[in-house]
Homo-oligomer: A and B are copies of this chain.
Amino acid sequence: MQDHRPMRIGIVGLGTVGAGVIRLLDSNGALIARRAGRPIVVSAISARDRTKDRGVDISRFAWVDDMNELARRDDVDVVVELIGGSDGPALSLARCALEAGKSLVTANKAMLAHHGMTLAQLAEKASTPLKYEAAVAGGIPVIKGLREGAAANQISRVYGILNGTCNYILTTMERDRSDFGAVLAEAQRLGFAEADPTFDIDGIDAAHKLSILASLAFGTHIDFANVDVSGIRNVTSDDIREAEDLGYRIRLVGMAESTPEGLFQRVQPMLVPLDHPLAHVGGALNAVVAEGNFVGSLFFQGPGAGEGPTASAVVADLIDIARDEYGDPFAMQVSELIRQPKADSGNREAQRYMRFTVQDRPGVLAEIATAMRDCGVSIESLVQRSAREDGSVLLVLVTHQGTESAIIQTLAQISGSESLMDEPMVMPILK
């Protein structure tokens, strides 16, 4: 039987998203009350700085200095954690809220990637909801899409564009034919990238999200430690142009796959064919593909970050709780989740793009071609661009379908070569 009294929330963390949640409830409150069957009201708030101007009137709400005290207040039914960070105050608050039997809504992917299972067990113990739609792909209801929409399916793969900053950078490089460094600097100036962009551009943020999606898709424990990660720092404007010539676009793709040998989880730049929907995901958008054994391929796209979209996902969780429509955070009891070993990626078959920057002198091509022959890597196409001012030559090739270990062997064989002027770049082609 649904409760019709107002649902009272306490918001901790009043950055962009926290202020956005308040603005959303102010703007859409009446509609939300109709949809949720009851009003959703803010009763208490907590953040580091009480005096900061956030563009919303917070004097209406009880201010609580100690956030853990907020979690225990009688006038708070749901704690909304918007502090961020995998440990520290966020984790302490989350534990405190669940242990006090409060519902918890969080947007914190880092915390879930590291402590999701522990928190889910606390939520089970307290029979209270733990929800986190905003933690993955911002405003796109992809947690719900996997947990519920695709729940009838054995999912073989889930993958997508999980970091808007990287996608903004890659698609801007694509559009303006500009270099990574210049685009990153501009993105930082415009506020699309953080002052310290490491978590985004090195793929950590996408890896956090991927580990959560994998758990939902495969019914496995979250296993962030076993996500292989490489970011987009080494993607050059040459790569983007060469990929384009070959009929592809470069995207940072997080992919998780359930294989007979275990769980494959990786974040890496990939070449995406133009007829694949991920190739058309532009700017800071996110997108996720889930492949099920009955439904086939589902594709979700939308804004992956920002005040409005993230607040939208947080409040969607609140509405589910207000409606009394929720259950196990990771789709089943934690005791039902399986631990899968990390899959050996060595025998993963793919076509791959390889870019070498080499010296312009006789024998270099033979050296690389020999290594590939020795390691059993077969070449589908090859382009050599004429020498540039610094005397370097760009060698771009696409391999036939082959294993990853053969590529690793090839790279090892030529790694000492004096002909190489740069680290070779290898990107699989998405299929």
Binding site for B on A (CB under 8 A): 2, 20, 24, 27-28, 31-32, 34-37, 133, 139-141, 144-145, 148-154, 219, 275, 277, 280, 282, 292-303, 308-309, 311-316, 318-320, 323-328, 331-333, 336
Do A294 and B312 touch across chains, with their CB atoms under 8 A apart?
Answer: yes
Contact of A295 among B139, B149, B151, B277 (CB under 8 A): B139
Q: Which 7 A-B pairs have the closest CB atoms?
A: A141-B149, A152-B315, A295-B312, A139-B295, A299-B301, A294-B308, A298-B302
Give Cα A148–Cα B313 distance, bound, in whole angstroms.
Answer: 10
Indicate if the CB atoms of B298 and A139 lie closer than 8 Å: yes
Given A31-B219, A309-B294, A327:B323 Cβ within 8 A: yes
Asked whether, in the complex, the Cβ of B152 is within 8 Å of the Cβ of A316, the reply is yes
Whether the pair B139, A296 counts as a contact (CB closer than 8 A) is yes
User: What residues of B have a CB within 8 angstroms of the CB of A296 in the complex?
Assistant: 139, 302-303, 308-309
Whether A151 lies near B301 (C-beta < 8 A) is: no
A148 to B148, CA, bound (A): 11
Flag if A331 contacts B35 (CB, 8 Å).
yes
The answer to whether A299 touches B298, judged by C-beta atoms less than 8 angstroms apart, is no
Known: A141-B145, A295-B303. A328 touches B37 (CB 8 A): yes
Contact of A144 among B36, B141, B309 (CB under 8 A): B141
Chain B residues contacting A280 (CB-CB under 8 Å) are 275, 277, 280
Docked pose: A182 CA to B309 CA in angstroms: 45
A350 to B336, CA, bound (A): 54
CA distance A298 to B140 in the complex (A): 7
Residues in B whose Cβ lies below 8 Å from that of A292: 139, 312
In whole Å, how far is A94's beta carbon from the nearest beta carbon of chain B? Answer: 22
**Separation of A36 and B151 alpha carbons in the complex (Å):** 9
Contact A295 B308 (CB under 8 A): yes
Contacts of A144 in B (CB 8 A): 141, 144-145, 148-149
* Distance A232 CA – B358 CA, assembled complex (angstroms): 56
Contact: A294 with B311, CB < 8 Å? yes
Residues of B with C-beta under 8 A to A148: 141, 144, 316, 319-320, 325
Contact of A37 among B141, B293, B301, B332 (CB under 8 A): B332
Listed residue (A140, A295, A298, A313) with the most chain B CB atoms within 10 angstroms of its CB:
A295
Cβ of A293: which chain B residues have Cβ within 8 Å of it?
27-28, 308
- A299–B297 CB distance below 8 A: no
Most chain-B Cβ atoms within 10 A of its Cβ — which of A24, A301, A314?
A301
Contact B152 A312 (CB under 8 A): yes
| Pair A153/B331 contact, Cβ less than 8 Å | no
B residues near A275, Cβ cutoff 8 Å: 280, 282
Bound form: Cα–Cα A253–B373 in Å = 52
Smallest Cβ-Cβ distance to A319: which chain B residue: B151
A218 closest partner in B (C-beta): B31
Task: Give the Cβ gap from A200 to chain B, nearest Cβ, in Å.
Answer: 20
- Whether the pair B139, A327 counts as a contact (CB closer than 8 A) is no
Q: Provide the bound-state CA to CA distance between A277 and B294, in Å.
A: 24
Which residues does chain B contribute within 8 Å of A327, judged by CB atoms? 2, 37, 323-325
From residue A313, how far is it (CB to closest CB) to chain B in Å? 8
Q: Which of B35, B139, B332 contacts A35 (CB 8 A)?
A: B332
29 contacts between A and B (CB under 8 A): A27-B293, A28-B153, A28-B293, A31-B219, A35-B151, A35-B219, A37-B332, A37-B333, A133-B149, A139-B292, A141-B298, A144-B144, A148-B325, A150-B312, A152-B312, A152-B313, A152-B315, A152-B319, A275-B282, A277-B280, A294-B309, A295-B302, A295-B309, A295-B312, A296-B302, A296-B309, A297-B303, A300-B301, A325-B327
User: Which residues of B have CB within 8 Å of A297?
Assistant: 302-303
B332 touches A294 (CB 8 A): no
